[in-house]
Amino acid sequence: MVSFIVCLTVLIIGYFTYGKVAEKVYGPDERETPAVRINDGLDYVVMPKWKLFLIQLLNIAGLGPIFGALAGAEWGPAVFLWITLGTIFGGAVHDLGVGFMSMRHDGLSISELTGMYLGNIMKQVMRVFSVILLVMVGTVFAVGPAALIALLIGKQIDGDSIWTNTYFWLAVVLIYYFIATFVPIDKIIGNLYPVFGVCLIIMALGVSVGIFTHGYTIPEITLRSMHPAGTPIWPVMFVTVACGAISGFHATQSPLMARCCETEKEAHFVFYGAMVCEGIIALIWAAAGCAVYARTGGLMTGLFQIMNDQGQAGTVYDVCAKTMGGAGIVLAMIGVIACPITSGDTSFRAARLVIADWFKLDQDSYKVRLAVTLPLLTAGALISQLNYDVVWRYFSWSNQTLAMIALWTIAMYLYKNHRFYWMAVIPATFMSAVSVTYFCFAKECLGLSTAISYPVGIVVALIFLGIFLSKSVFGRKDDRLAA
Model pLDDT for residues 425-435, shown as the tens digit of each residue: 999 999 999 99
User: How many helices, marked H, and strands, marked E, lie in the chain?
Assistant: 21, 0
pLDDT in tens, 403-413: 999 999 999 99
Least trusted range by pLDDT, from 8-22, 227-241, 317-331: 317-331
Query: Could you tell me which of 387, 460, 430, 81 has the C-alpha nearest to residue 235?
Result: 430
Q: How far apart are CA 94 and CA 401, in angstroms?
A: 13
Give the confidence band of 478 by pLDDT, cuts at 50, 70, 90: low
Which pLDDT score, from 0 to 100, does residue 361 have? 87
Over residues 234-254, the mean pLDDT reads: 91
The SS3 assignment for 390 reads: helix
216 burial (CB, 10 Å; 0-12 / 13-18 / 19+) is middle
Q: In the chain, what percentage of residues exceed pLDDT 70?
A: 94
The CATH label, of 3.90.1150.10, 3.40.50.1820, 1.20.1740.10, 3.40.50.300, for the domain at 2-396 is 1.20.1740.10
| Lowest mean per-residue pLDDT among 37-41, 128-132, 183-187, 327-331 | 327-331
Residue 296's φ and ψ, nearest 5 degrees, are: -120, 120
pLDDT at 431: 97
Reduce the DSSP state of residue 61 to 3 states and report it. Answer: coil
Per-residue pLDDT tens digits for 135-168: 887 877 787 778 778 877 877 777 778 888 888 9
Please give the Cα distance from 467 to 406 (Å, whole number).
Answer: 16
Q: How confident is the model at residue 392 (pLDDT cuts 50, 70, 90)?
A: low
What angle separates helix 2-16 from helix 273-292, to the nearest 10 degrees?
180
Lowest mean pLDDT among 28-32, 60-64, 420-424: 60-64
Question: Which of the four pLDDT bands, split at 50, 70 and 90, describes residue 483?
Answer: very low
pLDDT of residue 242: 83
Helix axes 120-154, 388-416, angle to 10 degrees: 140
Distance between CA atoms of residues 476 and 483, nearest Å? 17
* Contact partners, residue 118, CB within 8 Å, separation at least 6: 405, 408, 409, 412
Say if CB 453 and CB 254 are below 8 A apart.
no
φ/ψ of residue 299, rounded to 5: -115, 150
Residue 362 CA to residue 152 CA, distance in Å, equals: 42
pLDDT at residue 268 above 70?
Answer: yes
Q: Residue ranges of the domains in the chain? A: 2-396
Q: Residue 428: its pLDDT value, please?
A: 98
**Position 480 pLDDT exceeds 80:** no
Residue 390 banded pLDDT, cuts 50, 70, 90:
low
The candidate with the shortest Cα–Cα distance to 433, out of 449, 455, 450, is 455
Q: What is the mean pLDDT of residues 414-435?
A: 96
Give the least confident one: 121-135, 184-198, 285-299, 351-365.
Answer: 184-198
Q: What is the CA radius of gyration of the chain?
A: 21
For residues 165 and 283, the answer to whether their CB atoms sit within 8 Å is no
Is 444:393 a contact under the CB 8 Å cutoff? yes
pTM across the whole model: 0.89
Q: For residue 165, give the DSSP letter.
A: -
Query: 221: Cβ–Cβ under 8 A, 6 or more apart, which residues?
Result: 3, 7, 77, 78, 80, 81
